[in-house]
Amino acid sequence: MGIKVAKFGGSSLADAGQFKKVYEILKSDPSRRFAVPSAPGKRFAEDIKITDMLYSCHKMASKGEDFQELFEQIVSRYTDIVRELGLDFDIRPALYEARDNIRRFDNPDYAASRGEYFSAMILSKYLGWDFIDAAEVIKFDRQGAFAAEWTNELLSQRLKCHRYAVIPGFYGSLPNGDIKTFSRGGSDVSGALVARAAGAVLYENWTDVSGFLMADPRIVKNPRRIERLTYRELRELSYMGATVLHEDAVFPVHKAGIPTNIRNTNRPDDPGTMIVTNHEGTQRPNIITGIAGHKNFTLLSIEKAMMNSELGFGRRVLQALEEFGVSFEHLPTGIDTMCVILSDSELQKHKDEIIARIEENCHPDSIEISGGLALIATVGQGMVSSRGTAAKLFMALAAADINVRMIDQGSSELNIIVGVDVKDFEDAVRAIYSAFV
Ligand code: ASP
């Protein structure tokens, strides 16, 4: 029987009731052998995540302030869970030891990591599974960069010694033993690493939604769930704003050919979304997989007669951006025009200097700056090669009276990106969605 690794997000472990659901999920399938929990998240909208409280404790401690009162709130969240689960152990000594260490270590990562550490401790006792401290098996190098191969070796050796185990998410350690965390939401990454090291057949990522939706539900009413998508499609959709999974969680499992299944802890019978390496051999319900987009882009349109024959023109434009540390999003070009699409937040930092540098480097006939652009990506592997897709998309936009300001298809066959006025963004997403779904 293949191994499954199950990662549970903060809302899946927010209180004892949620821990019970997690228990049922894990015990209902013996192939779920390794669990990776997050720290308890919000129980209700105004609640505070344990991780955020721990960061605040560290901040107060580093300013020499007393954080006892705040820490007591953390203590009561964990002791409530332990009590309501009917577990016979006292978690308080370990919690107070962590409090003293937060005071002593002056390391925000140590403070934040305790959220996952105590979550895993409770879950392992509740399940009767072994506990593996992530600090022993997830490693960062001296510069603080994640050490993928070292981790994989340590972790795979270690997992072989345990039939069932809980490994806290979000953190690992530096060579000197200091705790280091991934960026926020990083338990997804830990789960993916455990899946790779275990040689899992499936990485289950349990959260509070039943998978990815084909469009933002704030824009499209009741969008369909994406049943299946590839890791490459996921990357395109996440880049354009659809977020469910931490970006760095994709690489380890994709590389190892392990599918990821996004599941809902509160609706465990929902099949969720399956993220796979390719669509081979499957029937797809829609030509497109999903639609995502972002507002607030600016188009720099640089014109110069005979630009196409001027060697190094493009390089000099991009050099101006690079000099000011600004990255661009897209680069549609014409014969005598080159357009650079930049996010407003990037451009604002050095707008005037960049324009001056392009003038100086390239002597263009004109540079036009037009803001207020929104980009919409319609994603689906192979969609670009299926006849009529582009026509359908543009007809839908025309029928909705939306002017397309930019088109970028690239050659990836994955994606058609259109730029529209910010005011048309929502209408455009709805028009594309109803044309295809
Ligand atoms: N607890 C951490 C955070 O809130 C990591 C995670 O939940 O994945 O960012």
pLDDT in tens, 296-314: 999 999 999 988 788 999 9
Q: Ligand 1 centre and the CA of 181: distance in Å? A: 9
Query: Is the pLDDT assigned to residue 410 strictly greater than 80?
Result: no
- Tell me if 194 sits within 8 A of 253, measured CB to CB: no
Q: Ligand 1 centre and the CA of 187: distance in Å? A: 6
What is the C-alpha R_g of the chain? Answer: 25
Residue 13 has what DSSP assignment?
G
- Tell me if 195 sits within 8 A of 155, measured CB to CB: no
The mean per-residue pLDDT over the stretch 327-350 comes to 89
Query: Is the pLDDT assigned to residue 334 strictly greater than 90?
Result: no
Choice from 7, 12, 170 to test ligand 1 binding pocket (greatest atom count within 8 A of CB): 170
- pTM equals 0.88
Residue 142 has what DSSP assignment?
T
pLDDT tier at 170, thresholds 50, 70, 90: very high
Three-class SS of residue 206?
A: strand
Choice from 12, 38, 55, 188 to test ligand 1 binding pocket (greatest atom count within 8 A of CB): 38
Could you give the strand order of the β-sheet that contains 404-408, starting from the edge strand earlier in sequence? Answer: 337-343, 290-303, 366-379, 415-421, 404-408
Say what the pLDDT of residue 166 is.
Answer: 98
Which residues' Cβ are closer than 6 Å to ligand 1?
10, 38-39, 49, 51, 115, 169-170, 184-188
Q: What is the pLDDT of residues 12-36, one digit of tens each?
A: 999 999 999 999 999 999 999 999 9
